[in-house]
């Protein structure tokens, strides 16, 4: 990369986002010009880093307004680093700001901008394979009207394909699933077929109709395993013809959808025809007289109607649980895998899970202290619990590094009598993978005073929680569990059964659930291994090449593990939960 700006000349200012494959920061160069700095952990085990692939694609596509200017790429310390233009909000952000519906004028004009970007990458011999609202970003300041296409991690050269050719998966160990993001992926991508330019146009059509309609007919399908979810979405897509999708919309959009969704495998899209249709619609809706997007109009304010309000549930009618209560939680695999968000309308294409009752019975109740009770207005029937796990354990048995995650709980209060109960070797602790759990209402027997809980929370907030690191001094149970963890974990919510924790449950117990130092990680692993198998995966969820380190290495505990450029889908399985 001779002649390019050195990485050391860029300075990080603040964090923008963090995801499964790395971190994006806002930074400045030596002239105080703002840039975006994307970083991922480097690894000798990775033959083709995601950021290196994206860098080469961006360099090949450079020279068009729709492509962000890439500054440099290189390795800095433990990281692969890509520096590029800092951009503004995504079209997905603007869509939510506009109460999840754009005017036809805005829809048509954005369609022209998106189509220009897609045609540009096609003309350079690439297909994107992940067209969606979140991958189109507006520029900043003078470029705020320009739509930029980003995220080229799935991009590859396109070529003429023989009908029926499936995506080559000989280099991977298992079924790679749908390449793209499920709501926008083409029907052919759902079937695992090799993608061509038509598949980008399919995703473009679904994105455009999302803007014009305010939603897609399969938006609500998010429950179950990824494979079940993908099949249900595909069945919906097959039943919704262009005419049905465009009912009530201008003829131009129906003609555009008919052309894009009807393209042949190797057929060249008629970009001019599509651009004329969008231009005609935009001009009829007033773009020439007022060439502004709706968010550029004076007096425009971002809508809050589409945002889910999360609020503390104490006090709410018929809810007796509160912060500080001690409970027993047990993850229910079948209900977790079957979870369907509101509105719950499972269709016949959703298949039951093959879970042996004996296996589900092995999952134990584990003790916890409630940190927060939250409710979502979109699903008023259920509430979620954020918790800390409890353990009755002699800490001298643990590795020195893990001991720092524990704090003693000397006294608990009986809710009914107010009497204080003293316990020996009972500890509150923090660990990786502590998602909110979904539970129903019960009455608690024991509680931790709020002032004590606040002190413990403050104390534990500064404690790093290693993910898959294994230490020489770890006990065998912890080592076995951590080695089963996958490199990337899609965290979420799990359906649980809840019971009150009584005094007798914490008095002198020697049972494994009360001595565990791994929280609900073993149970979540079991659920995700079931999900992995139902999605067609082979072997174990993790691999034998998990990270191992000394007790002293804490610098990169919170970073995602380095992985090869992804070949599979960018969507994650939805593991939100419900009960009942």
Residue 325 annotated to the active site = no
CA distance linking residue 428 with residue 444, whole number of Å: 18
Q: What is the pLDDT of residue 170?
A: 35
Instruction: Kindly give, in sequence order, each residue whose CB lies less than 8 Å from that of residue 337, ignoring residues fewer than 6 positions away.
Output: 224, 225, 353, 355, 527, 530, 531, 534
Q: Which entry of 25, 85, 97, 130 is annotated as an active-site residue?
A: 130
- The CA distance from 417 to 474, in Å, is 40
Q: Where are the domains of the chain?
A: 1-86, 88-160+177-298, 317-398+421-465+491-502
Task: State the pLDDT at residue 186.
Answer: 95
pLDDT of residue 110: 97
Burial class, 441, CB count within 10 angstroms (exposed 0-12 / middle 13-18 / buried 19+): middle
Class of domain 1-86: alpha beta
Q: What is the pLDDT of residue 418?
A: 86
- CB atoms < 10 A from the CB of 151, how many? 17
Question: CA-based angle 99:101:103, to the nearest 5?
Answer: 125
Q: Residue 346's CB: how many other CB atoms inside 10 A? A: 12
Q: What is the pLDDT at residue 531?
A: 78
Its CATH architecture, for the domain 88-160+177-298, is Orthogonal Bundle (1.10)
Is 132:101 a contact under the CB 8 Å cutoff? no
Give CA–CA dist 205/132, Å, rounded. Answer: 10
As a 3-state breakdown, the chain gives helix, strand, coil percent values, each rounded to 5, of: 30, 20, 50
Q: How many CB atoms lie within 10 A of CB 325?
A: 23
Residue owning tokens 């709706």: 294
Q: Alpha-carbon distance 331 to 317, whole Å?
A: 26
- pLDDT per residue, tens digit, the chain (580 aa), is 444 456 778 988 888 876 656 788 999 998 889 999 998 888 777 778 889 999 999 999 999 999 999 999 998 888 899 999 999 999 999 999 998 999 999 999 999 999 999 999 999 999 999 999 999 999 998 899 999 999 998 999 988 777 766 655 434 334 557 889 999 999 999 998 889 999 999 999 999 999 999 999 998 887 666 787 888 899 999 999 999 999 999 999 999 999 999 999 899 999 999 999 999 999 999 999 889 999 998 878 776 544 444 444 444 445 678 889 999 999 988 888 776 665 555 554 445 555 555 555 678 899 999 998 876 555 556 678 888 999 888 888 777 777 888 889 888 888 888 888 887 788 888 887 777 777 777 788 999 998 999 999 888 887 777 666 677 677 788 888 888 887 667 656 688 888 898 888 877 655 667 888 888 888 988 888 887 777 666 666 654 444 443 334 444 444 455 555 443 333 222 223 333 3
Q: Do β-strands 420-422 and 411-414 pair in parallel, antiparallel, or remain unpaired?
A: antiparallel
Angle 94-98-101 from CA coordinates, rounded to 5°: 100
Bond prior to 343 in cis (omega within 30° of 0)? yes
Structure tokens at 552: 């002293």
């Amino acid at each position: 990369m001779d002649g390019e700006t050195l990485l050391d000349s860029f300075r990080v200012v603040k964090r923008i986002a963090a995801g499964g494959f790395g971190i994006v920061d806002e930074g400045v160069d030596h002239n105080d010009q703002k840039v975006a700095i994307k970083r991922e952990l480097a690894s000798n085990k990775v033959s083709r880093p995601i950021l290196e692939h994206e860098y080469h694609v961006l360099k090949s596509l450079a020279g068009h307004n729709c492509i962000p200017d890439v500054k440099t790429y290189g390795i800095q310390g433990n990281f692969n680093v890509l520096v590029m233009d800092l951009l503004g909000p995504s079209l997905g952000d603007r869509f939510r700001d506009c109460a999840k519906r754009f005017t036809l004028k805005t829809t048509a004009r954005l369609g022209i901008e998106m189509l220009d970007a897609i045609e540009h990458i096609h003309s350079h011999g690439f297909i994107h394979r992940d067209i969606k609202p979140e991958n189109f970003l507006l520029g900043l300041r003078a470029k705020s009207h320009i739509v930029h296409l980003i995220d080229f991690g799935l991009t590859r050269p396109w070529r003429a394909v023989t009908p029926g050719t499936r995506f080559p998966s000989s280099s991977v160990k298992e079924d790679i699933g749908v390449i793209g993001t499920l709501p926008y992926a083409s029907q052919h991508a759902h079937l695992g077929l090799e993608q061509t330019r038509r598949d980008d146009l399919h995703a473009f059509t679904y994105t455009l109709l999302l803007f014009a309609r305010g939603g897609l007919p399969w938006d609500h399908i998010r429950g179950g395993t990824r494979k079940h979810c993908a099949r249900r979405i595909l069945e919906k897509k097959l039943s919704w013809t262009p005419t049905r999708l465009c009912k009530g919309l201008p003829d131009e959009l129906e003609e555009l959808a008919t052309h894009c969704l009807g393209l042949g495998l190797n057929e060249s899209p008629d970009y001019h025809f599509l651009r004329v249709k969008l231009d005609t619609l935009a001009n009829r809706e007033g773009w020439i007289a007022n060439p502004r997007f709706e968010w550029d109009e004076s007096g425009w304010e971002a809508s809050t109607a589409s945002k889910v309000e999360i609020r503390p549930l104490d006090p709410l009618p018929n809810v007796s649980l509160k912060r500080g209560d001690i409970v027993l939680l047990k993850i229910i695999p079948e209900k977790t895998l079957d979870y369907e968000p509101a509105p719950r309308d499972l269709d016949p294409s959703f298949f039951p899970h093959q879970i042996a009752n004996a296996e589900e019975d092995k999952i134990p109740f584990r003790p916890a202290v409630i940190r927060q009770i939250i409710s979502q207005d979109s699903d008023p029937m259920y509430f979620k619990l954020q918790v800390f796990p409890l353990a009755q354990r002699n800490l001298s048995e643990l590795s020195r590094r893990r001991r720092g995650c524990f704090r003693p709980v000397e006294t608990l209060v009986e809710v009914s009598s107010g009497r204080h109960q003293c316990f020996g070797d009972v500890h509150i602790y923090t660990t990786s993978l502590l998602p909110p759990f979904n539970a129903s209402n019960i009455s608690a027997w024991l509680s931790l005073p709020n002032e004590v809980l606040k002190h413990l929370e403050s104390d534990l907030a500064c404690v790093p929680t290693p993910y898959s690191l294994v230490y020489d001094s770890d006990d065998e149970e912890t080592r076995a569990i951590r080695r089963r963890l996958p490199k990337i974990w899609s965290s979420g919510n799990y359906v649980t059964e809840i019971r009150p924790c009584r005094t007798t449950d914490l008095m002198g117990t020697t049972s494994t659930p009360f001595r565990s130092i791994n929280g609900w990680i073993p149970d979540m692993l079991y659920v995700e291994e079931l999900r992995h198998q139902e999605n067609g995966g082979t072997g174990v969820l993790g691999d034998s090449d998990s990270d191992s380190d000394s007790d002293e290495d804490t610098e990169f505990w919170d970073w995602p593990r380095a992985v090869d450029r992804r070949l599979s889908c960018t969507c994650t399985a939805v593991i939100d939960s419900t009960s009942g």
